[in-house]
Structure 1
């Protein structure tokens, strides 16, 4: 959340920005608007592994788990170092999510993992716009043009 302007996002979407589960005794204020598509960026090693393995211990992971089941197009732009990306659990998680229709922008011609210890240097180069462009160019019938 530190990189988001929550007020601006709420203004653009016409809905409050939710970032945590509501308390059990708090009534739902109504259905949340269905997303046309989701972008998960920067997607960390932990986020990708937990999500692929069905762990929904945060509000964001809960939403992502449901999105797959609701057939919402999802584009993921990972931000992981090469050592973590080379691990079998991460590779399996990427394969699992791709098998469920999630588009992960990782590999040849896509975003590449960075060398260990260089994440803060690479953050300024993070290609946020590539994930948005992919969603806008996609031919998913759900996505509004």
Structure 2
């Protein structure tokens, strides 16, 4: 039986390379579904078909309409990567105003493994809301992957989005 992760991507540098994250998840045996925040969907709007072909599933960024069937299979795990500073703070404060944030906000309380790997710079990372948000997510059972076991924030304007550690992020998901 193939297991299904939802790869949920925010509009942060590595989102440009989300196809690489999908390929790595597939190589690990996952039937990967992609959910983008609305801002991240704008980055890919001209190439969404490419991502749908790659995953074999519709790429979601908006809520479905009443009466529409779910377009995606049920998730066995969810990985938010890259997680932007904005989405981290909204999620940590309980603001679920996008499909991406609703899914992870509910998923962690429905027994789904939820992990998140951030990607933002050190200037954003020292904002007081960041530490509060990280603590709130960890308190709920989210595996927040930062520091030596995840992504260490970079100096402003000196990030390496292409070098995002997809394999580290995927390694925390339950084995296929």
Structures share fold, TM-score greater than 0.5: yes
1:16 matches 2:66: no
Return the match for 1:54 from 85, 94, 98.
94
Q: TM-score, length-normalised on structure 2?
A: 0.66
- Residues 1:7 and 2:62 are matched in the alignment: no
Higher helix share: 2
Q: Quote how far apart the aligned CAs of 1:134 are.
A: 2.0
Tell me what 1:38 maps to.
Answer: 78
Match of 1:107 among 147, 151, 155: 147
- Contact in 2 for aligned 1:98/1:104 (Cα 8 Å): yes
Shift of 1:109: 3.8
The Cα offsets for residues 86-137 of structure 1, whole Å up to 9 and x where unpaired, read as 1210011001100111001112343200001123xx10111112111221xx
Q: 1:66 aligned to 94, 106, 111, which one?
A: 106
Deviation at 1:59, TM superposition (A): 1.2
1:65 Cα deviation after fit? 1.2
Residue 30 of structure 1 deviates from its aligned partner by 4.9
Match of 2:16 in 1: none
Structure 2: unaligned runs, 5 residues or longer: 1-40
Contact 1:82 1:115 in 2 (8 A): yes
Q: Which deviates more from structure 2 when the two are superposed, residues 105-114 or residues 69-78? A: 105-114
Match 2:135 to one of 70, 95, 108? 95
Q: Give the direction of change, closer, same or farther, for the CA distance of 1:124–1:144 in structure 2 (3 Å limit).
A: closer
Count, aligned residues: 130
- TM-score where L is the length of structure 1: 0.79
CA distance in 2, matches of 1:75, 1:29: 26
Q: Which has the larger radius of gyration?
A: 1
Does the CA contact (< 8 Å) of 2:150 and 2:169 recur in 1? no
